[in-house]
Chain A
Amino acid sequence: MAYTLKMRLWRGDRSGGDLQDFDVEVEAGEVVLDAIHRVQATQAGDLAVRWNCKAGKCGSCSAEVNGRPRLMCMTRLSDYDPSETITVTPMRTFPVIRDLVTDVSYNYEKAKELPYAELPPRDADGKRRMMQEDVDRGQEFRKCIECFLCQNTCHVVRDHDGNKKNFAGPRFFLRYAELDMHPLDTVDRRRVTREQAGLGYCNITKCCTEVCPEGIHITDNAIIPMKERVADRTYDPLVWLGNKIGIRDKDRDSRAEL
C-alpha cells in the first residue's frame, strides 16, 4: 500500500533553521529513514542525515521523531496513522551541525575520560576463565550501540549545558558498571564514578532506559547498582566502621582503588 506521507523536517544549521514541509511517497513496511532517503533522492539532495547500517545495529541515525528520541531506521511508518504528519528534528541536546546531523563529540570526549579493563595475567594454559553467570551483566551493557539517545534524552545535560563538564551520562555509566562487575578486573572505580563521572547527578527518572533501542535496563541494572556500590564505598557508616575494625569485603580485596 503506497500513500503520500506528510513530513516536517528541521533544516538549518547553527545560525538558524526551521521545520519544512515535504510530501513523500511511501509504502507499507517502510521506516522513517526510508522516507527521509526518498526526500533526499528526489527533493533535497543536500538534506544532511547521518546513517550507516539501517538495521538498528550501528546507532547512527538517532533523531527525534514527533519529539521522541528514536533511531529513524527502527521507527516504522505503520506505527503512525497515514494522515498524521511526522516531524523529524535533530537530537536537541547536542550542537546542531546541519539539518538532522548533530555534533556528538561530547560523547567522544567523555569516552576519553573512561577507565578501561585491567586484567591480571592469563591462566597457565594461556586462556582466561570466566563463568557465564559472571559475564551476563556486563554483556547486557555491551549490547550498547552508542546511538547516544540516552545521552540526548537525559535532562541533566539536555536542559543544563553546564553539567556536561561534570557528568558522563547514562551511556558511560554502563561502562563503569560493566567494569565494576567484570569478574577479572583488578581496579576499584567507585570513587571516580562518583567524583569524575558524576553519578550523583542522576535522579533516576529513567528516560535513558525508556529510549534505549537495545532495551538495556540502564537505570535498574547499571546506574542503581552503581549508586548502591558507591553508597558502600562512601555513604554507608556501617561499611566504613567495618573497614575500620578490619572486616574486609573479600569480593573487593584484589582491587586497587583508582
Chain B
Amino acid sequence: MTTGVHGPTRARIEAKTLRTDRWWVSPLTTFVVFFAFVVYATIRAFQGSHYYSKPYLSPFYSPCLGDCVKGSSDFGQPFHWWPLSAALLVLIFPLGFRLTCYYYRKAYFRGFWLSPPACAVAEPHKAYTGETRLPLILNNIHRYFWYAAVVIALVLTYDAILAFGPAEGESSGIHMGLGTVVFLVNVVLIWLYTLSCHSCRHIVGGKLRHFSKHPVRYRMWTWVSKQNERHALYAWLSLFSVALADLYVLLLASGTFSDPRFF
C-alpha cells in the first residue's frame, strides 16, 4: 500500500512535490562538495607522506603519533609501531565530530540519504526510524567527540603557533609565511566551529534551568548561542580551510610550490 503523500487519505496529487523553485540545488551542492572532500581526505589520509614541511604539519596528521617524519611529532610517537598512515590514528576524532554534528546530520540526511531531499519533497524510502536504532543512535554521543575536538583544536592551535617558528634550514628565530596565515585562519575557523557546537552550547549553560542563578554560565551560553546561529557556516568554512591547509602542506612538501615569506 502506498503511504506518505500518496497515501489513501491524503489529497490526490500526482506530483511528489509541487515546489517550483530549484530546491535540488542545495542537496546537490552538499553532495558534490562533501563527496569531493571525502575523496580528497581519504587519499591524503592513506597516503602517509608529504604531510610535513617545516614548520607546517598538515592538520590531517596532527598530532602525529605514529612513525612520523622527523620533526613532525611534537607529542612523541606512542604509536610508532602503527603500520599504516599516522593520519588514521587521529582523523577518527574530527571525522566523528563532524559525522555526529547536528549541522552535518542535516546536510548528509538531506544531501546523501535524501531523507528528505528538501522540505515538502517526498523522500524515496519505504521505512524510517530516524535516530532510534544503531548505528544512528550513536549520534547521541556527539558530546564525547566534542571533548576530543577541543583537544584537537588545542593541538592545532599549538601547530599554528609553531607555524611562526623557524622555517626549513633554520634552527631558531621567528618567521611568517603564507603558510602561517593559512594555519592561523584554519585554527580560528576550527575554534569557531568547535565552540559553536550544539553540545558545547548545552554543556556551557544550556542544560541549566535557572540562568539567573549562574550569571557567568549564562553569559557564556549567550555567546555560544550567538555563534551557534552560524554553526553551519563555520562547518563549511572550516571544512574548506582544513583541506586547504593540508593541500598547502602537500604542495610545499612535494616541492611544487615554495612558501612566500613575509619576515
A and B: direct contact (Cβ < 8 Å)? Answer: yes
A contact residues vs B (CB 8 Å cutoff): 10, 12, 14, 16-19, 64, 66-69, 87, 89-90, 92-96, 102-103, 131, 133-134, 152-153, 155-156, 158-163, 181-183, 198, 200-207, 210-211, 220, 224-225, 227-232, 234-236, 251-252
Query: A210 to chain B: which residues have CB within 8 Å?
Result: 119
In the complex, the answer to whether B9 meets A95 with C-beta atoms within 8 Å is yes
In the complex, the answer to whether B120 meets A134 with C-beta atoms within 8 Å is no
In the complex, the answer to whether B198 meets A228 with C-beta atoms within 8 Å is yes
CB-contact partner of A134 in B5, B132, B207, B209, under 8 A: B209
B58 at the interface (CB under 8 A from A): no
CA distance A90 to B12 in the complex (A): 10
Query: B116 to chain A: which residues have CB within 8 Å?
Result: 155, 158-159, 205, 207
User: Can you report 8 A-B residue pairs in the complex whose CB atoms are below 8 A from each other?
Assistant: A134-B209, A201-B130, A201-B132, A207-B119, A224-B102, A225-B206, A231-B140, A231-B142
Query: A234 to chain B: which residues have CB within 8 Å?
Result: 140
In the complex, the answer to whether B3 meets A162 with C-beta atoms within 8 Å is yes
Range for the number of chain B residues in contact with chain A: 35 or more
CA distance A16 to B11 in the complex (A): 7
CA distance A251 to B19 in the complex (A): 46
Residue of B nearest to A98 (CB): B11
Residue of B nearest to A91 (CB): B11
Query: A16 to chain B: which residues have CB within 8 Å?
Result: 12
CA distance A27 to B199 in the complex (A): 49
Q: Shortest beta-carbon distance, B210 to chain A, in Å?
A: 5
CB-contact partner of B207 in A68, A93, A152, A232, under 8 A: A232
Residue of A nearest to B122 (CB): A159
B129 at the interface (CB under 8 A from A): yes
Task: Decide: A134 near B211, CB < 8 A? Known: A18-B12, A67-B120.
Answer: yes
CA distance A155 to B120 in the complex (A): 7
CA distance A202 to B199 in the complex (A): 17
Q: Shortest beta-carbon distance, B218 to chain A, in Å?
A: 6
Task: Decide: A64 near B18, CB < 8 A? Known: A16-B12, A134-B209, A224-B198.
Answer: yes
CA distance A206 to B106 in the complex (A): 7
CA distance A231 to B138 in the complex (A): 10
Query: B10 to chain A: which residues have CB within 8 Å?
Result: 92-96
Given A160-B3, A201-B129, A211-B119, output 11 extra A-B contacts at Cβ < 8 Å.
A64-B18, A66-B21, A160-B127, A203-B109, A205-B109, A225-B202, A228-B202, A229-B202, A231-B143, A235-B137, A251-B208
CA distance A235 to B20 in the complex (A): 42
CB-contact partner of A69 in B120, B123, B211, under 8 A: B120
Query: A64 to chain B: which residues have CB within 8 Å?
Result: 18, 120
Residue of A nearest to B17 (CB): A67
Q: Shortest beta-carbon distance, A171 to chain B, in Å?
A: 16
Q: Shortest beta-carbon distance, B92 to chain A, in Å?
A: 19
CB-contact partner of A203 in B115, B208, B218, B228, under 8 A: B115
Query: A156 to chain B: which residues have CB within 8 Å?
Result: 128, 130
Task: Decide: A202 near B9, CB < 8 A? Known: A67-B20, A68-B119, A155-B123.
Answer: no
CA distance A19 to B123 in the complex (A): 23
B contact residues vs A (CB 8 Å cutoff): 3-5, 7-13, 15, 17-21, 102, 105-106, 109-110, 115-116, 119-120, 122-123, 125, 127-132, 136-137, 140-143, 198-199, 201-202, 206-212, 218, 228-229
Task: Decide: A235 near B140, CB < 8 A? Known: A92-B5, A156-B128, A159-B5.
Answer: yes
Query: A200 to chain B: which residues have CB within 8 Å?
Result: 130-132, 137
CA distance A89 to B11 in the complex (A): 8
CB-contact partner of A160 in B13, B128, B218, under 8 A: B128
CA distance A49 to B237 in the complex (A): 45
Query: A236 to chain B: which residues have CB within 8 Å?
Result: 141, 143
CA distance A204 to B12 in the complex (A): 28
Q: Give the 10 A-B CB pairs with smallest separation, nearest first.
A: A67-B18, A67-B19, A95-B9, A201-B130, A207-B119, A131-B212, A228-B202, A200-B132, A155-B116, A235-B140
In the complex, the answer to whether A203 meets B131 with C-beta atoms within 8 Å is yes
Q: Shortest beta-carbon distance, A113 to chain B, in Å?
A: 18
Task: Decide: A205 near B115, CB < 8 A? Known: A10-B13, A156-B128.
Answer: yes
CA distance A230 to B143 in the complex (A): 12
